[in-house]
Amino acid sequence: MPELPEVEALAAYLRERAVGHTVERLEVSSFSALKTFDPPATAVAGLTVTSAGRHGKFLDIGLGDDLHLVVHLARAGWLHYRDAFKSPAPLKPGSGPIAIRMRLDDGSGFDLTEAGTQKSLAAYLVRDPAEVPGVSRLGPDALAVSRDEFADRLKGRNGQVKGVLVDQEVLAGIGNAYSDEILHVAKLSPFALTGKLTDEQIDTLYAAMRAVETDAVARSVGQKAAELKGEKRAGMRVHARTGLPCPVCGDIVREVSFADKSLQYCATCQTGGKPLADRRLSKLIR
């Protein structure tokens, strides 16, 4: 799933490539992907792309004076920028993985695609991004929150630190991958309870969050959209590296699997050398 760094990089790429161009038309192939109907997709034709930014993991493309195309790429969605499209013909309904296409006046544009059978990509054409339910519920951005607000929000939502970090109502922008990385840098168990964290541990966790996210943004911004996934994988220490050596201590990276996702961690660095039981609501093996 694209997280804060990748969405920030996509926004930066659109600011460089698309902002200032006029929209020729917005084509919708997957009608379930566009969650709004007023204004209609036809309303953006002739409008200028005025901005590109993000709200947490939501991409926000400004159109004209008062419209926004807000996109959540979900687990398997992506943005593919095209310098030129092979055909001028409009998309047909159900055009493979392509959900939405935006064509610009210079012949370029982008496709919003989604792989797999679980279609969760969501796009909203709105006059105010706050009209998008997921945006209106977001907590402070992970790269903008102060240390004190960070501490208050963690302690205000007592639970396992991994789950609290990825709760978008607590903090916006952190997902499964970078939460693994943050906890590894902070040397914290993913199942540590936020209500029991010491002030020193919160300081360390806050610094780790800032360092991991800032470094990932620095590595991602400037990359082409097609290269971002590879850049993300290359920068990971523990996430998606099960069975490989930890780059800090050399112990093997371990995994806890859930029904639809998994987490990775280093027992030596994070849990005092004790492996976590690989089951839902796992606790340290004693």
Q: What is the pLDDT of residue 286?
A: 38
Confidence of residue 29 (pLDDT cuts 50, 70, 90): very high
pLDDT of 257 strictly over 70: yes
Identify whether the C-beta of residue 19 lies closer than 8 Å to the C-beta of residue 32.
no
pLDDT of amino acid 279 = 60
Per-residue three-class SS string for 45-85 = CCCEEEEEEEECCEEEEEECCCEEEEEECCCCEEEEEECCC
pLDDT tens digits, one per residue of 80-137: 999 999 999 999 888 789 999 999 999 999 999 998 777 899 999 999 999 999 999 9
**The pLDDT value given to residue 227:** 79
CB under 8 Å to 123, separation ≥6 — which residues?
Answer: 33, 34, 35, 69, 70, 71, 72, 99, 100, 112
pLDDT at residue 1 in the model: 79
* 47: amino acid identity, one letter: L
Q: Report whether pLDDT(280) > 70.
A: no
> Between these two residues, 258 and 187, which has the higher pLDDT value?
187
Q: What is the pLDDT of residues 176-206, one digit of tens each?
A: 999 999 999 999 999 999 999 999 999 999 9
Give the integer Cα–Cα distance in Å for 130 and 153.
21
- What is the overall mean pLDDT for the chain? 93
In eight-state DSSP terms, residue 286 is: -
Check whether 282 has a pLDDT greater than 60. Answer: no
The pTM (predicted TM-score) of the whole model is: 0.92
Overall average pLDDT of the 258-269 stretch: 91
Q: What torsion, rounded to 10 degrees, do the Cα atoms 270, 228, 169, 176 define? A: -30
Residues 6+ apart with CB under 8 A from 89: none
What percentage of the chain has pLDDT greater than the value 70? 97
Distance (Å, rounded) from C-alpha 195 to C-alpha 166?
Answer: 16
Tokens of 167: 């709760």
